[in-house]
């Protein structure tokens, strides 16, 4: 299939040649059209137009105009046009004397003066030159714009990949910390947690390399992560969640919600007090609304377990993946911390 740029180029060339083919007819409008006059007025100018157009399009514009040698470009084209005018006059004098005499008679009568005809012919030779510059410049601009967009996309993909790789060790580090806290208290739970973590890491390593994946897969991953996190909290912590039960058909970037859930378990759980973490996800056509609430138990300054890498990562990824298509709000009310994230996926 011909790509868009090739279609534009072909259409531009067709438009140019329709215009150039019409110029000789316009200049000879109202005059009798015998075979000599058709050759003289039509085919000879068309041949010169073709040479001027493609000589500039293929060689001169790239070598001189785009290389900032504008003066040389102008001089060369002036010489080329002057040469073709001279050749045309020689052809007229040697092969089309009747037309020349007819034009001379017209110049003494009602026809246009000879100087005017020369000026008009010179301007007609400038037309293919201007067309070649216009098409070549447009083609160059389109190519430059495509390269700029490709560079921007490459930078975006690289940055997103970096953030993705940054999230994986962060997630693994936090999960290992949780399992470590279980080793002495409950070795069986620690073993179970290691097994659950291996399944989660398999998902992160092998299934999240795509730009988007079904929301249902992400929900399944979130549920497994919540079950893993619940192993390390006491019976005083209640965790409730509500996710769409049916397939929504929504495609979404992976691992966008996990940092918020991590945060809830880090800052919303107390070893001595009752805690409640509530998670809810609602889908409306192509919009995903995610809400998470937890009790507010801020970490001490010296506690580095909640360094904020995951949340910073999330904010940056949202800016890159869903610019102007996401809303995230946080609020503390009645000692409850609430985060609401809304993403428009289409």
Report the distance separating Cα 186 and Cα 38, nearest Å. Answer: 101
Cα 91 to Cα 85: distance, rounded to the nearest angstrom: 10
Assess contact for 241 and 278: CB atoms under 8 A: yes
Q: What is the pTM of this model?
A: 0.55
Domain 184-344 belongs to what architecture?
Answer: 2-Layer Sandwich (3.30)
Q: Which residues pair with 134 in a beta bridge?
A: none
271-305, pLDDT tens digit by residue? Answer: 788 899 999 999 988 999 999 999 988 766 555 55
Contact indicator for 122, 81 with CB cutoff of 8 Å:
yes
Block means of pLDDT (10 residues each) for the chain, length 346 residues?
Answer: 63 74 60 52 78 91 91 93 84 60 50 55 82 87 81 66 60 71 73 78 76 90 86 85 90 89 86 90 93 84 55 85 92 91 91
**Residues 222 and 258: beta-carbon distance below 8 Å:** yes
Quote the CA–CA distance of 67 and 142 in Å, as a whole number. Answer: 18
Closest C-alpha to 12, from 57, 44, 42, 46 = 57
- Label the pairing between strands 213-214 and 237-242: unpaired
**C-alpha distance from residue 144 to each of 32, 139, 220, 275 (Å):** 49, 9, 44, 57
Token duo for residue 321: 């993946």
- pLDDT 10s digits, 25-75: 665 555 544 454 555 566 777 888 889 988 999 999 999 999 889 999 999
Q: How many CA atoms lie within 13 A of 70 on its CB side?
A: 2
Q: What residue spans define the domains of the chain?
A: 4-148, 184-344
pLDDT one-digit tens code per residue, 101-115: 555 555 444 444 545
Can you tell me which residue has the tokens 């904020």?
308
């Amino acid at each position: 299939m011909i790509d868009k740029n090739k279609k534009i180029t072909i259409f531009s060339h067709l438009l140019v040649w329709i215009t150039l083919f019409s110029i000789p007819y316009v200049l000879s409008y109202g005059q009798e059209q015998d075979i000599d006059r058709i050759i003289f007025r039509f085919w000879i100018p068309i041949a010169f137009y073709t040479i001027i157009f493609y000589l500039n399009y293929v060689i001169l514009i790239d070598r001189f105009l785009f290389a900032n040698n504008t003066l040389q470009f102008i001089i060369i084209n002036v010489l080329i046009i002057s040469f073709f005018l001279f050749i045309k006059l020689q052809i007229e004098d040697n092969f089309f004397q009747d037309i020349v005499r007819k034009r001379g008679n017209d110049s003494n009568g009602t026809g246009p003066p000879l100087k005017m005809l020369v000026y008009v012919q010179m301007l007609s030779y400038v037309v293919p030159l201007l067309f070649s510059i216009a098409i070549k410049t447009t083609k160059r601009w389109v190519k430059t714009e495509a390269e700029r967009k490709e560079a921007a996309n490459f930078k975006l993909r690289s940055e997103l990949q970096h953030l993705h790789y940054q999230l994986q060790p962060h997630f693994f580090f936090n999960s290992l910390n949780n399992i470590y806290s279980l080793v002495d208290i409950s070795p069986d739970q620690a073993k179970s947690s290691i097994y659950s973590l291996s399944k989660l890491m398999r998902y992160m390593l092998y299934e999240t390399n795509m730009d988007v994946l079904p929301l249902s897969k992400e929900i399944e991953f979130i549920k497994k992560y919540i079950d893993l996190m619940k192993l390390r909290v006491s019976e005083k912590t209640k965790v409730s969640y509500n996710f769409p039960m049916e397939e929504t058909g929504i495609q979404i970037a992976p691992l966008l919600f996990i940092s918020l859930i991590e945060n809830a378990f880090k800052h919303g759980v107390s070893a001595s007090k009752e805690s409640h973490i509530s998670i809810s996800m609602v889908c409306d056509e192509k919009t995903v609304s995610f809400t998470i609430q937890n009790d507010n138990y801020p970490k001490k300054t010296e506690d580095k377990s909640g360094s904020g890498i995951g949340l910073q990562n999330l904010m940056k990824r949202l800016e890159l993946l869903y610019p102007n298509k996401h809303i995230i709000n946080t609020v503390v009310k009645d000692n409850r911390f609430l985060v609401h994230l809304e993403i428009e996926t289409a």
